[in-house]
Amino acid sequence: MLRFWLLRFHRWIALVLSIPFAVVIVTGLVLSFEPMVMGAGSPAVTTASINAALTKHDPDGKARSIAIRAYDSTLSIGGAQRSQATIIDLASNERAAAPGMLASLFGSSRRLHENFIYDLRWVVTASTIAMLVMILLGILMGWPRIRNTVSGWHKGAGWFALPLVILSPLTGLALAFGITFATPAARPAGPAPSLSEALGIVGTQYDLSRITWVRPLGGVLAARINDNGEMRVFAVTRDGLVPFARNWPRLIHEGNWSGIVAPLLNVITSIALTILMVTGLWIWGRRQFRQRQPRERCVQIVGSTENA
């Protein structure tokens, strides 16, 4: 009897939140490939091209932040507000109307993944909590018999990928509530360097094409850098780079902690979640269809009896 109710709750949570689940899972699958392409360099992204872009498009030094997409050969120069960002094609050092197709795909997927539609971030958070509840209900139903059927694929995907399936929404929930397990970075003494000075400081240790962004963070000027496949965040001071404590929930959730291995695990997780969603809806739809068939036959039999 308990298993009956566990299955019922498991099924209805999936049905009620099927659309948010689909959006989060599909966009998560797309974003799983972003760390793979972020490591790809471009001959157009060099220290000289970045400095030339800043000299031409921010001559007064008013920019508050920059973001570099090496795979797209573009640089975004940010003002006081996000909407003021200027996109520069580093190959030509001219303004671009928008990032390239791949960068736009990742950007749109990230907005949907984090905010759903119309900035409904709470829907994503609620769906993430519900997903963890569904996983718990599935575990409480016990180890199943796994057969070569749609139901068997559903159960197999859930159990064999269980650690990954739990870790993905759990780390996403940690990000939503600001849980980092990291101590805040100490503020350096003295004034923070300017953006151009920060690029010079980073350039002494790293190729600037490895930078993801440079922006104010927690009262310091910070830079996110691809450090041998791991996305590390550093405070940029006049004395050099000071590493932030690792934000493990973000590193795990985004697949930025270990070169190609981490994003591949995220791809596997997204595929497993997609299989669970599709097979679960298929099982429910097939069940509904089978339940309607006897009713339709009864109606036909009653109708033929009355006409006799």
User: In this structure, is residue 252 part of a structural domain?
Assistant: no
pLDDT greater than 50 at residue 126: yes
Query: 187 and 165: one domain?
Result: no
- Within this chain, do residues 130 and 62 fall inside the same structural domain, yes or no? no
- Cα Rg for the chain, rounded, in angstroms? 25
Give yes or no: residues 83 and 151 share one domain.
Answer: no
Task: Please indicate, yes or no, whether residues 300 and 171 belong to a single structural domain of this protein.
Answer: yes
d(CA 169, CA 25): 10
DSSP class of 275: H
Q: What is the pLDDT averaged over residues 147-176? A: 94
User: Which structure tokens are listed for 81?
Assistant: 């507000």
Residues 123 and 65 placed together within one structural domain of the fold: no
pLDDT value for 293: 67
Q: Is residue 19 part of a domain?
A: yes
Half-sphere exposure of 290 (CA within 13 A, CB side): 6
Give helix 261-307 / helix 162-176 axis angle, nearest 10°.
100
Question: Residue 253 domain-assigned?
Answer: no
**220 and 159 in one domain?**
no
Are 26 and 146 contained in the same domain?
Answer: yes
Provide the pLDDT confidence category of residue 297 given band limits of 50, 70 and 90.
low
Q: For 50-109, how does the pLDDT look when each residue is reduced to its tens digit (9 = 90+)?
A: 989 999 999 888 888 999 998 899 999 986 555 668 999 999 999 998 888 999 999 999
**What is the pLDDT at residue 214?**
95
Instruction: For residues 188 and 177, state if they share a domain.
Output: no
pLDDT for residue 304 is more than 60: no
- Are residues 86 and 38 part of one domain? no
Q: Residues near 295 by Cβ (< 8 Å), separated by ≥ 6?
A: none
Residue range of the domain that includes 33: 1-42+95-182+258-308
Domain shared by 100 and 241, yes or no: no
In 3-state terms, what secondary structure has residue 266? helix
Structurally, the chain folds into a number of domains equal to 2
What is the distance, to the nearest Å, from the Cα of residue 197 to the centroid of all Cα atoms in its chain?
31
pTM higher than 0.95, yes or no? Answer: no
**pLDDT on residue 75:** 93
pLDDT tens digits for range 12-53: 999 999 999 999 999 999 999 999 988 776 778 888 899 899
pLDDT for res 272: 97
pLDDT at 303: 55
Q: Residue 251: inside a domain, yes or no?
A: no
Residues 33 and 112 in one domain: yes
Classify residue 118: in a domain, yes or no: yes
Q: Are residues 284 and 302 in the same domain?
A: yes
Interval 160-167 mean pLDDT: 96
Q: Is the pLDDT of residue 191 over 90?
A: no
Distance, in Å, from the CA atom of 223 to the CA atom of 227, rounded to the nearest integer, reads 11
In tens, the pLDDT along 246-296 reads 999 999 999 999 889 999 999 999 999 999 999 999 998 888 888 776 655
Three-point CA angle 201, 207, 212, nearest 5°:
85
Ramachandran sector of residue 119 (left: φ over 0; alpha: ψ -120 to 50; beta: rest):
left
Instruction: Decide if 207 is inside a domain.
Output: yes
Q: DSSP character for 46?
A: -
Local structure of residue 260 (DSSP, 8 states): T
* Exposure string for 263-294, b = 16+ CB within 10 A, e = fewer: bbbbbebbebbbbbbbbbbebeeeeeeeeeee
